[in-house]
Amino acid sequence: MFELTRQYQFHSARRLTELSENHPCGTLHGHTFSVIIKVSGNELTDEGWIIDFYDIDAFYEEKVHLFLDHKYLNDIIENPTTEHIAMWIWNQLKNDLKGLSSVTVSEGSSYGCTYFGDKNA
């Protein structure tokens, strides 16, 4: 079994809607988010990989980055917690990235969430 890891960043603003405005995240604020996409597989292509990193890049750019970078996340994701962002990214990529195994979203070096998909789906 192989697992590829590809890391990206995007910059966005958000407001967590389920918090009071007294909470720092209940008001408008921004982050530089880091995203780690992991793809797993057993079989290598003739080129010697499970998937070309350029293919991962193309899917990420088209399905995620264009929608999230320098955007107000509340216009895209209701209550854009890190958990909801990770799940949204998973759902954008799952049909195109065969072997998608996890999506990790971090809003700095100390906070993050990994989503492994809905194993019941």
Could you list the active site residues?
25, 70, 107
Are β-strands 100-106 and 112-115 bridged in parallel, bridged antiparallel, or unpaired? antiparallel
Number of H helices, E strands in the chain: 3, 5
Q: Give the separation between CA 51 and CA 45, rounded to whole angstroms.
A: 8
Write the burial class of residue 55 (CB in 10 Å: 0-12 exposed, 13-18 middle, 19+ buried).
middle
